[in-house]
Amino acid sequence: MLKKILITGGAGFIGSHVVRLFVNKYPDYQLVNLDKLTYAGNLANLEDIQDKPNYRFIKGDIVDAAFIDELFTAEKFDSVIHLAAESHVDRSITNPLDFVMTNIVGTVNLLNAARKHWKGDYENKRFYHVSTDEVYGTLGEDGLFTEETAYDPHSPYSASKASSDHFVRAYQDTYGINAVISNCSNNYGSYHFPEKLIPLSINNIKNNLPIPVYGKGENIRDWLWVEDHARAIDVIFHNAESGTTYNVGGHNEWKNIDLIRLLCKIMDEKLDRDAGTSEKLITYVTDRAGHDLRYAIDSSKLQNDLGWKPSLQFEEGLEKTVDWFLSNEEWLNNVTSGNYQTYYEKQYTER
């Protein structure tokens, strides 16, 4: 049984949902959340579980190899669920090296610690690497990403995640580490940092600010409710065979502009605005460089092997998400003060 789990990046968007799920579902596990608390990491995401006896938080940087080695010595983890990453494509275009450091070097540091500390007992340990569908590059109008699709990353973010996936597989093949990888499509839900499309648009609509749509808004993403992703991680962590990869996705493709229009409609209703009011905020801006046209996941392997499937329809999930943001103003105000303003101005004023 794998019971002493290091979860990296547990104070971020998806990580906080994974930590919450595991802490509540597995009272006899010991869950250690290691997070550097970058701009994207926020302990307020975990307030409801922070005092649980099976949970601990440690502040630290996965790029610091000596620190990671000492942590493995002290804590004797028997498994890792690795989510810590720089995760925003636009930031990767501005600062690629941050992505190389955390996403590649940080992952290799964790693999080295696992290799050293679990030597001789790899079959009883587990290294779970959480990755993205963006490693597969872009689709045209047809087709879906399967686990066999060749890697073809286009952004510094997706290139760094692709590299980290390759390192995980290389450590499995070379040293025999028990590793699993999942590649998931775009997530949405509570605690989503408002630099990403959905929470940024909710925040701007709420404040009557322009909704910046890149290019013509025709790019397509496959959206999955974050709690369904956390459930998939739980199922894969406990049941996947070593060396397996699973694609995780919502079978839920939306053109950006259609998604934004739906969001505007929901927000008009929630904010008691006349129908059509929020749509007037839509503003087309310069496209993202190297912008992938379409992502869409075939998750049938996960559905057939392990019985997982998404639980929420998108319209319902989006409404739930809007409700969460509107009733968590303090959280939103806290994360959009300070550095956020500087980022926003740099990212959008010249577009």
Q: For residue 123, with 0-12 CB atoms within 10 Å meaning exposed, 13-18 middle and 19 or more buried, which class applies?
A: exposed
- The nearest distance, CB 20 to ligand TYD, in angstroms, is 22
Binding-residue pattern over the window 25 to 44 for ligand NAD, x denoting contact by CB under 6 A? ----------xxxx-xx---
12 or 153: CB nearest ligand NAD = 12
For residue 130, what are the β-bridge partners? 182
Binding-residue pattern over the window 237 to 276 for ligand TYD, x denoting contact by CB under 6 A? -------------------x--------------------
Distances (CA, A) of 94 to 90, 160, 289, 343, 344: 7, 14, 11, 11, 13
First to last CA, the chain: 52
The binder of 197, among ligand NAD, ligand TYD, none, by C-beta within 5 to 8 A per type, is ligand TYD
Active-site residue flag, 134: yes
- At a CB cut-off of 8 Å and minimum separation 6, what does 327 contact? none
The binder of 37, among ligand TYD, ligand NAD, none, by C-beta within 5 to 8 A per type, is ligand NAD
Question: Rule CB under 6 A: is residue 192 a binding residue for ligand TYD?
Answer: no
3-state secondary structure 174-218: HHCCCEEEEEECCEECCCCCCCCHHHHHHHHHHCCCCEEEECCCC
117 or 196: CB nearest ligand TYD = 196
For residue 34, what are the β-bridge partners? 8, 58
- The nearest distance, CB 137 to ligand NAD, in angstroms, is 15
The binder of 221, among ligand TYD, ligand NAD, none, by C-beta within 5 to 8 A per type, is ligand TYD
Alpha-carbon distance 12 to 288, whole Å?
24
Binding-residue pattern over the window 276 to 315 for ligand TYD, x denoting contact by CB under 6 A? ------------x---------------------------
List of residues contacting ligand TYD (CB under 6 A) = 89, 186, 196-197, 200, 212-214, 219, 221, 256, 288
Residues marked as catalytic: 133-134, 157
